[in-house]
Structure 1
Amino acid sequence: MEVPRPHVTRRHTISRNTAWFRPWPGAWRWLPPLLALALGLWELPRGGSMWRDESVTYQVAHRGLGQLTGLLGQVDAVHGLYYLLMHGVFALWDGGPWALRLPSVAATVLAAAGVAALAHRLAGERAALLAGAAYAVAPPVQMYAQEGRSYALVAAAVIWATYFLVRERWAAYAVVLALGCWLHEFAVLAVLAHGFVAWRSRAWRWSVAAVALALAPLVLLSAGQAQQQLGWLGRPKPADWAAYAVVAGAALLLARGIPDRALVRVALPLTLVPPGLLLVVSLVHPLYVDRYVLYALAGLALLAGARLAAGGWVAWVVAAALLVPLGFWSAWLRTPESRKDDVLAVAAAVRAEARPGDAVLFMPARRREWLLSSPGVYGSLDDVALDRSPAHSRTLWGTELPDAPLRARLLAAPRVLAVLDPVGEPVDPYPREAVKRQALAAHFDLCRIVPVHGARLAVFARPGGCS
């Protein structure tokens, strides 16, 4: 049985309240992607900053193919296809932050075009123009349009897979959705949302089976890496539930005033099901991070566009009132402070404090990432705790020496630059981290602490060496 035909109807209800709003013919095709492109390019370098997740992409994608595939056999297989893509990008053009982020900009342009195409198929030109624009201006969409991570690409894949679902183009649906799942496994949650539309369709079930078969190797490989990959996650916080409640409430309110019920049947599950399910599962096994289901915002954009197209002065007043905070939020997203930290600022602070012969110590060890994307700074210092480099150990941050050699190398250094988490972060309980703290406290004087966004740089010297 195929997807019910009402989903592809071309007959749409036009409200007298919005009869004045007549977009240029065909504007829905080019205006949303053009808006997404303009927002994506606006302050793309983000003040010359890069946060630690982007730094992982940058340093991993610059490894040789053999080192990269060796890493993926140990960790981060879930991002493997994206790293390989970025390896190719940097091989063609090593353009720093621009090369790192432009693929996400391009993906967001495609995603905005996909939202518009979906809305046009289900609710007409006005809804298409407004829905595509709503997706492009959504702050989380703008945020990940300017990040060197896979989430914008995943969103584009899910959105276009949803379009092919509505068009009943099953081969294209399976291929594009499988691509999205290979970019990040949690794209598979979109299948559950699609099931609300197409569960009766035998062709859809066969397509889902094909996606599952294509995804199986990645699932088997990443399953063994799950604890290392996601062990840092905790159960959802009240803020996570509050954010979901706001989105869900907005989606339900918007859906009530939309005459095009076919669009509601597509958009509402896409908005609610993937993040809602991930939150519930995370009560038992923590998995939830909002960016993992960024694509759910496409459903909210569809509802917003269709609601505005359906008319009513209240909807337009609310949309106009949101423009001012949206403008401030958009501007803030283009500052270094909008991310958790800034690895390039950490590297700059280390460069300013470093002297020949200084040692560097990362506390905890995973903060080595803060310097790995600045090899000129990192290479000039003695990493006293390092045993094997990230590339040679096939890890993200390298392996460290056992306690006794680590302590001996540390005590041989006249000055130590300790790269630390910001104040308030919990101290790692691992024995090796305790060895670092004890050796510094017992044998060095603390000269000064230099605060950096999301980090601290502490300068230690042997007694009497601070001056």
Structure 2
Amino acid sequence: MTSRAAVLRRGLPSWTVAALWTLALGLWGLSRQHSVWRDEAATWLVAVRPAGEIRHLLTHVDAVHGLYYLLMHGLFGWFGPSITTLRLPSVLATAVAAACVAVIGRRLAGPWAALGGGMVFGLLPAVQFHLQEGRPYALVAAGAGISTLLLVNLLQGRGRGTYWVAYGGTVLVCALLNWLSLLILPAHLVTLVRTRAGRGTWVRWAAASAAAAAGALPLILFSRSQSGQVAWIPPLTWHMLIGPAVLLTIGGLGALLDRPRKDPQREGPSQESPSQEGPHREGRLSVAAVGLPLLAVPQLGLIGLSLAKPLFLDRYVLFSMLGLALLIGAGLETAVRAASPRIPGAARWLGPALIAVSVVALLPQALATRSPGSRVDDVLAMTADVRRLKGPGTAVLFVPAERRDTKLVSPDAFTGLRDIALTRSPQESSTLKGVEADPARIRGAMLAQRRILLVTDSPDVARPPAGRRDRVKAAVLKKYFTVVADERVRGRRVTLYERLGAARPSPGSAR
């Protein structure tokens, strides 16, 4: 009875609470009111293709996401293509990452660092945005959490040789999902330096890291031939550094507050054989030694890379938020321990109170992230307008050609509309958007139409036409057509044009 009572008093392990909490956050508003934005649409469009077509596509475009697309292809095959299938892997992966934060925090700081860090992780704005995304970045964060936990185990003398194999394999899988995740290796290197790891640890880490990097090298080299895909990323500017500066400031404060535990409760064996490389002495392995490099090095590394080639997007280093959550948790642990001797019962109410304040403070961000308007656009938003405006003999154009994703995700809405610019479909051309005719042929096809439905971006997010094809489309519509109807919905715009001098259709003909 005594043992059972002790178990009941302890309640659920902190990593379980963190995982369940994050899972609940992910399932809350998962469909975002049945909206899908352009990046997720790309995942959808590739994942529904046969595996052979996906492999052929990757030789032309998006090789950097090849493993993720094949994974989603398998999930779509097993469970069917749906918004839930699209986003649930990211939800589960984020829950795993939160659990890793909790376990590391418990090992290195204490119970409140575990609970606070694990629960805060899912509330961080960047994490909330990608928590419900049909893209690979949450999966990379989960892998980064697992590899960091494995490293902590090894530094504490808990691991075996197979842990190094698992460490290298996890880093490799993350690199195949997004090779910029290899920035975690210099972060772990800093941890090894700060903890004064032994020679044996250095040798094994170097071997595992080199194997992971070598395994990802072919993908890195091949993806450079497709670097035009990221040509749209703007050059680094000073205002883009404000976000990283704020994160590093918060993380630095957490590192200053972190203090080594005087009475760590380690699970498993507490001592190693004198002939083995034992666990680190007290205070040498801390949350600051693990969390601060994990936060700072990927952020600074991406900034450095962006000075040579614009690559600065926070999602590429989403996994660095693991370090921020660890440091916030350590700050909470320090606050509770500092208050306990002075305020009776502080350990019972201060931790929950601070966590509750964090939840309330970040609730507006959580609500905003789950709205369809939180993304640049909504691929599905204007399908109802397409159905309403299309009519017999109507043609359709897309500016830019990437906006064809609406038709590809919702083909039923475009039934009866002739895609007059398209010469080869995305499947036939092994591309994401298909191949369009040359500008002269597009102009001739447009002039042969009486009505044209244009699908494009709304003015607040649209960019000036960049290619000759798009400039020809805009010029012909302006000179020879007039606007009959114009609808704008969540980042997308659908406009019905009628040829000048043509009889205006009756209201029923546009439905």
Which of the numbers 446, 455, 458 marks the counterpart of 2:483?
Answer: 446
Q: 1:132 to 1:184 in 2, by over 3 A?
A: same
- SS of 1:305's equivalent in the other structure is helix
Task: List per-residue Cα deviations over 1:144-183 (Å, max 9, x = no partner).
Answer: 1111110100100011111111122211110111111111
Report the RMSD for the aligned CA atoms in angstroms: 2.0
Q: TM-score, normalised by structure 2?
A: 0.83
**Which piece of structure 1 moves more, 358-367 or 31-40?**
358-367
Matched, 1:208 2:209: yes
- Report the equivalent of 1:301: 325
- Unmatched 5+ stretches in structure 1: 1-21
Moved more, 114-123 or 234-243: 234-243
Mean alpha-carbon deviation: is it higher for 320-329 or for 152-161? 320-329
SS at match of 1:359: strand
- CA distance in structure 2 between the partners assigned to 1:361 and 1:420 by the alignment: 9
Superposed counterparts of 1:174-213, under 5 Å: 174-198=168-192, 201-213=202-214
Name the structure 2 match of 1:418.
454
Check if 1:113 corresponds to 2:150. Answer: no
- The 2-side partners of 1:245 and 1:304 are apart by 16
State the match for 2:308 in structure 1.
Answer: 284
101, 105, 118: which is aligned to 1:132? Answer: 118
* Counterpart for residue 157 of structure 2: none
- Which residue pairs with 1:147 in the alignment? 133
Cα distance between partner residues in 2 of 1:281 and 1:220? 16
Output one character per residue of 1:175-223: Cα deviation in whole Å (capped at 9) or x when no partner.
1111111111111011110110225611101111110111122112211
- Alignment match, 2:406: 370
Match of 1:324 among 333, 344, 360: 360
Amino acid at match of 1:175: G
Structure with greater Cα Rg: 2
Counterpart for residue 27 of structure 2: 41
CA contact (8 A) 1:346 1:371 kept: no
CA contact under 8 A between 2:62 and 2:226: conserved in structure 1? yes
2:242 equivalent in structure 1: 242
Tell me, in whole angstroms, the C-alpha distance in 1 between the residues paired with 2:239 and 2:389. Answer: 38
Distance 1:95 1:120 in 2: 39
Which one of 40, 46, 49 corresponds to residue 60 of structure 1? 46
Counterpart residue identity of residue 325, structure 2: A
Task: State the AA in 2 paired with 1:452.
Answer: V
The superposition leaves residues 52-94 of structure 1 with CA deviations (integer Å, 9 ceiling, x where unpaired) of: 0000001110011111111101110110000000000010011
Aligned length: 445
> Secondary structure of 2:307's partner?
coil
In the alignment, the residues of structure 2 paired with residue 175 and residue 399 of structure 1 have an alpha-carbon distance, to the nearest angstrom, of 38
Q: How far does residue 422 in structure 1 lie from its aligned partner after superposition?
A: 1.9
Do 1:367 and 1:420's aligned partners in 2 also have CA atoms closer than 8 Å?
yes
- In the other structure, the counterpart of 1:15 is none
The runs of 5 or more residues in structure 2 that have no matched partner are 1-7, 155-162, 261-282, 340-345, 506-511
Is the CA contact (8 Å cut-off) linking 2:90 and 2:131 kept in structure 1? yes
Q: Is the 8 A contact 2:67 2:177 kept in 1?
A: yes
> What is the deviation of 1:240?
2.5
* Map of 2:444 onto structure 1: 408
Aligned to 2:343: none
Distance 1:376 1:54 in 2: 19
Of 240, 263, 272, which residue of structure 1 is paired with 2:287? 263
**8 Å Cα contact 2:15/2:98 also seen in 1:** no
Corresponding residue of 1:18: none
Give 1:355 deviation, angstroms.
1.3
| 2:191 aligned partner, one-letter code | V
> Which deviates further from its counterpart, 77-86 or 306-315?
306-315
Q: Which position in structure 1 is the counterpart of 2:230? A: 230
* Equivalent residue for 2:471, pick from 430, 434, 437: 434
Residue aligned with 2:229, SS: helix
- Please state how far the C-alpha of 1:25 moved relative to its aligned partner: 4.9
- Structure 1 residues 390 and 379: CA distance shift in structure 2, 3 A: farther
Q: Is the 8 A contact 1:23 1:126 kept in 2?
A: no
Return the letter of the residue paired with 2:476: A
State the SS of the aligned residue for 1:137: coil
Structure 1 residue identity aligned to 2:474? R
CA drift of 1:26 comes to 4.7
State the TM-score, normalized to the length of structure 1.
Answer: 0.91
Percent of pairs with identical residues: 40
Contact 1:349-1:452 within 8 A present in 2 as well: no
